[in-house]
Chain A
Amino acid sequence: MNQQKKLLIIDDDPDFVEGIKSILDAANYSVDVAYNPKDGLNALQTMNYDMLLLDIMMGRGAEGIMIARKMRKDAKLRELPVLIITGIREQMAFLFPGEPVHPRFVEVDELVEKPVEPQFLLDKVSALLQAAEARKGKAG
């Protein structure tokens, strides 16, 4: 149980990534980063992770959703916990001022909005990892 957990961040914003990566590093997680959806998907398919932290607006548009949808159809990736961290309300505020993020656009474990408080982030990550462990335990 004390084995170090491996996390992947897919996010195109270098400053934001730098911030959350340092928080997660300090909490003794092993953190990989992909800065575009293509590299991100490639990492998911070639490496083994315990959890994914995923941005939405990247590359050509809302490519984070493409990744989340693809994972749900992939036997290997289906069970991987996904935490979406997005600034979409800010990014698309010109289109939908004051509107909430669409609640049911894709089946993911959790969605939080940027900016994220460090402790809140750590609590979410640890809760999702524990829930995934519990699911695995039940299945096994």
Chain B
Amino acid sequence: MKKFAYFPGCSLEKMALSYHKSTIESARKLGVEFEELDDWNCCGATAYFHVDELLAYTLCARNLALAEKTNLDMVAPCAACYKNSYFTNDALKKDPDLAEHINFALEEDNLHFTGKVTVKHLLEVFAQDVGVDEIKAKTTRPLEGLRVAAYYGCQVLRPRKDHEDVEQPHFFEDIMSAAGAEPIDFPEKLLCCSGSLIITNRHAALSMVRNLLQSAAQRGAAVIATACPMCQVNLECYQKQVNQEFGTDFNMPVLYFTQLLGLALGITPKRLRIGSELVLPTPAFSRVRRTPATP
């Protein structure tokens, strides 16, 4: 059985609890075990990360050092947690002086960073470590006919440049196809959900969200699949505000890809916490030819 050190991040504790639950459930079905890091801390997110880089590295290095103690590679389902952890790992490995200084801080919690773990985003674990063949083989309730907009957002791919393809990736679509769904052509799949601008510049943020919803709706998506709690909340919980601001009438369900994957693997909607959305996805599932049990 494959095993990873699991860094859920702050959002998955409550706001994105459905992402957490569906991640653990789907992974178990696919023979992957996640061991939650003991006493992990916030990754610094985007609001402050890099405003004080040394602080940002320290916060992330603590989690990396916790992961090192497990002797497992680390996985993060949140795109921001992943990006921050990945780049801290990278920066500290490249700069021994920096690592020495951050380790001086980590001493206060009896921890030490050496750089021996690999940091992965959850999508990478499903696409590479599990693989689409395995997902296909374990899919018992394929999401036939479900038109999905596989939405990558930003930080799963960027600013890493050694990725499969920074401009035209397809591993997310591949996972959705393996689950029997029909990924639509969604050119906006790499555009930003506006991130923390939803707080700091509401007007700009809502306009960016509208752009994404509009494209997904026009292209006939029944649901948007995300791999980041920030993307999910911005696209889903602020739809009402978008409709108010722009006079639109979007009613687009936005689910975590693990919830869709979980359904295909035969997990009940309840265990995947489907039903905790503000835009209920039930109508979308009515289009699935072999309807999964509705919540």
Chain A residues in contact with chain B, CB under 8 A? 60-63, 65-66, 69-70
Contact string against A for B residues 87-104, beta-carbon threshold 8 Å, 1 for contact and 0 otherwise: 000000000010001001
Beta-carbon nearest neighbor of A106 in chain B: B104
In the complex, 17 of the A-B residue pairs with CB atoms within 8 angstroms, ordered by the A residue number, are A60-B52, A60-B53, A60-B54, A61-B52, A61-B53, A61-B54, A61-B55, A62-B52, A62-B54, A63-B54, A65-B101, A66-B54, A66-B97, A66-B101, A69-B101, A69-B104, A70-B97
| Closest chain A residue to B102, Cβ basis | A66
Which B residues lie within 8 Å of A65 (CB)? 101
What's the least CB distance linking B53 to chain A, in Å? 4
User: How many Å lie between the Cα of A60 and that of B97 in the bound state?
Assistant: 13
Q: Across the two chains, which residue of chain A brings its CB closest to B101?
A: A66
State the Cβ distance, A94 to closest chain B Cβ, in Å: 11
List 10 additional A-B contacts (Cβ < 8 Å) besides A62-B54, A63-B54.
A60-B52, A60-B53, A61-B54, A62-B52, A65-B101, A66-B97, A66-B101, A69-B101, A69-B104, A70-B97
Residues in A with CB closer than 8 Å to B55 are 61
In the complex, what residues of B have CB within 8 A of residue A62's CB?
52, 54
Kindly list chain B residues whose C-beta atoms are within 8 Å of the C-beta of A66.
54, 97, 101
A139 to B45, CA, bound (A): 51
A61 to B101, CA, bound (A): 12
Chain A contact surface mostly: helix
Residues of chain B within 8 A (CB-CB) of A63 are 54
Which partner residue on chain B sits nearest A41 by CB separation? B97
Name A59's closest neighbour in chain B (CB-CB): B53
Closest residue of chain B to A66, judged by CB? B101
- In the assembled complex, the CB of A25 is this many whole angstroms from the nearest CB of chain B, namely 32
How far is the CB of B91 from the nearest CB of chain A, in Å?
A: 10
CA gap between A70 and B53 in the complex, in Å = 19
Q: Report the Cα distance A65→B55, complex, angstroms.
A: 13
Residues of A within 8 A of B104 (CB): 69
A63 to B101, CA, bound (A): 10
Closest chain A residue to B54, Cβ basis: A61
Tell me the bound Cα distance from A62 to B56 in angstroms.
Answer: 12
Shortest Cβ distance from residue B21 to the other chain A in the assembled complex, whole angstroms? 35
Least distance between A54 CB and chain B CB atoms (Å): 15
Of A61, A63, A65, A69, which is in contact with the most chain B CB atoms at under 10 Å from its CB? A61
Q: What's the Cα separation between A78 and B101 when bound, in Å?
A: 17
CA distance A63 to B54 in the complex (A): 8
Interface residues of B in 47-61 (CB under 8 A from A): 52-55
Chain B stretch 11-67: residues in CB contact (< 8 A) with chain A:
52-55
Q: Which residues from 93 to 126 on chain B have a C-beta closer than 8 Å to any C-beta of chain A?
A: 97, 101, 104
Q: Which 5 A-B pairs have the closest CB atoms?
A: A61-B54, A60-B53, A61-B52, A66-B101, A60-B54
CB-based nearest B residue for A65: B101
Minimum CB–CB distance for A57 against chain B, Å: 9
Residues in chain A near residue B54, CB distance under 8 A: 60-63, 66
Residues of A within 8 A of B53 (CB): 60-61
| Chain B: minimal CB distance from A101 (Å) | 16
| Smallest beta-carbon distance B61→chain A, Å | 13
Tell me the bound Cα distance from A60 to B92 in angstroms: 13
Give the complex CA separation of A66 and B101 in angstroms.
6
A114 to B269: give the CA distance in the assembly, Å: 61
Contacts of A60 in B (CB 8 A): 52-54
CB B127 to nearest CB in A, in angstroms, measures 33
Among residues of B, the one whose C-beta sits closest to the C-beta of A62 is B54
Task: Determine the distance from Cα of A65 to Cα of B52 in the docked complex, in whole angstroms.
Answer: 14
- Cα distance, A90 to B245, chains bound together (Å): 40
CB distance from B49 to the nearest CB of A (A): 12
- Cα–Cα distance between A60 and B88 once the two chains are bound (Å): 13
- Taken together as a complex, chains A and B put the C-alpha atoms of A69 and B53 apart, in Å, by 18
CA gap between A63 and B53 in the complex, in Å: 10
Q: Which residues of chain A have C-beta atoms less than 8 A from B101's C-beta? A: 65-66, 69
CB distance from A24 to the nearest CB of B (A): 29
Bound-complex Cα distance A67 to B219 (A): 56
Q: How far is the CA of A62 from the CA of B53 in the complex (A)?
A: 9
